Amino acid sequence: MSAPEVFQLSLGPLTGIAFSPDRSQVCVCPNSNEARIYTRNGDSWDLTDTLAEHDKLITAIAWGPNTNRIVTCSQDRNAYVWTQTEQGWKPALVILKINRAATSVKWSPAENKFAVGSGSRVIAICSFDEENNWWTARQIKKPLRSTVLSLDWHPNNYLVAAGTADGKVYVYSGYIKGLEAKPEANIWGDKLPTGHLLAEFRSPNGGWVHDVAFSPSGDALAFVAHDSSINIIYASGPNEPPAAHIVVKLPSLPFTSLTWTSESSIVAAGHDCQPILFSGSHEGWAISRSLDDPSSTAKPLTPTATGARAGGVGRLGNNEAFNMFKAADSKGQRGTPQPGATPTSAGLTPVGSDGLLLTVHQNTITHVEAYEWNQSGEVSKIFTAGRDGRLVVWSVTGGKGLTGRMAGLQV
């Protein structure tokens, strides 16, 4: 397994991140009202452009792989579509008609429209209006009762899934009349007028939904919620209950983002600071391994999310300061104790004796997305970005077989 590539793009959190189609550029928001475009230069990234039009924090960025357009959305209730010209990137206005912050944005697979989620309890499906030279929105309102935190498009370009702050996941029709051909019936529904609700699911313990994602085929939907659960739903047919709703409850802290790497595997990451690979099928899902592989580093890194172990308790259990006070209390010893060996309880992020996490990311991971695909169409590399300002590219396949090294096809 090749070691992950690590880039420190910012000292603060990265609130939005998107790669250019050829992966030579990356657009990130360093927790501010500006998006920055960096160009890859060997092992470093050079700042080439700054997209400054928003007045408040940018919450999400999406870069269309086919049309090479960037869309940014922000807490200032606006979104802009950026097009590359000879004079640099030019913004186009989007008429969102929302009165709270925009939280998430995703291009549809055909890139003729995009969806924006917001705190004003609507999903805006936006398409280009030739007459006025701006983007207009059609809003989906019912039955949303809370902030839409995450969105994902079905590969057929018509359906959109949304995860909300009240712990629900909805599947809607995002069809826009006059823009595209009438959709055909599919496994999620047969009647598809704009904004029609096709399915609704709830997180097992009522945790708010951090991220949703359709599988590559679109027949399954996965989401991660704040009750430390990952849910996978298999659709069975229009107006039918799902064939399976699989819940995996974790011993670790909640995940905030996930991405499918194939029809039978998912990578999820979050407050635990390490990406975890899951695999499964209709019958059930389970943790496969952590991508933050202990054998590839010299440090005794232990992906504790994979199971229980005996020892002390709490996040402090392996912390130097904690151990020092503990030794002073129980044995009357002063000075530095032995560096904590391995993390202790189930689901804990390992902490080194220097106080740094033994994981590559030093804070919550907020984005997981596909980076590179192999010939068979499966994801071979993913990237993660987090509150520590780091961008990390991980190899998903690899391990023992040749598949990892054969990855060269870019989509």
Partner 1 sequence: MAEYAFRKINIDALEEDVLLPSDLYDPDPRGPDGVLSDAQAKSTEVRNLISRGDIPGALNAILTDPPYGEGVDEAKNLTKNALLLILNSTRASEIPAILKSLGQEQQDHLMAYIYKGMAAIGQGSDVTGSVLLNWHSQLTEVAGVGCIVRVMTDRRTL
List contacts with partner 1 (CB under 8 A).
121, 143-146, 166-167, 202, 205-208, 225-229, 249-254, 308-311, 313-315, 344-348
Reply yes or no: is the peptide bond before residue 216 cis, omega within 30 of 0. Answer: no
Q: How far is the CB of 203 from partner 1 (least distance, A)?
A: 8
What backbone phi and psi angles, to 5 degrees, belong to 90? -115, 130
Q: How far is the CB of 250 from partner 1 (least distance, A)?
A: 5
Residue with tokens 């399954």: 220
Q: Which of 30, 21, 33, 113 is nearest to 63 (CA)?
A: 21
Nearer to partner 1 by Cβ, of 229 and 384: the residue is: 229
Nearer to partner 1 by Cβ, of 69 and 315: the residue is: 315
Nearer to partner 1 by Cβ, of 365 and 392: the residue is: 365
Q: How far is the CB of 172 from partner 1 (least distance, A)?
A: 16
Tokens, residue 408: 């060269």
Percent helix, strand and coil across the chain, each to the nearest 5: 5, 45, 50
Let me know: does 47 contact 24? Beta carbons within 8 Å. no
What order do you get walking across the sheet with 34-41 strand by strand?
A: 16-19, 25-29, 34-41, 44-52
Q: How far is the CB of 212 from partner 1 (least distance, A)?
A: 17
Nearer to partner 1 by Cβ, of 23 and 309: the residue is: 309
Distance CA 320, CA 393 (A): 30
Exposure b/e, 204-220, CB count within 10 A at least 16 = b: beebbbbbbbbbbebbb
Q: How far is the CB of 314 from partner 1 (least distance, A)?
A: 7
Nearer to partner 1 by Cβ, of 90 and 142: the residue is: 142
Q: How far is the CB of 229 from partner 1 (least distance, A)?
A: 8
Residue 81 gets the label, from left (phi > 0), alpha (psi -120 to 50) or beta, of beta
What backbone phi and psi angles, to 5 degrees, belong to 317? -55, -25
Q: How far is the CB of 145 from partner 1 (least distance, A)?
A: 4
Nearer to partner 1 by Cβ, of 310 and 321: the residue is: 310
Question: How many CB atoms sit inside 10 A of residue 200's CB?
Answer: 11
3-state secondary structure of 92: strand
Nearer to partner 1 by Cβ, of 304 and 384: the residue is: 304
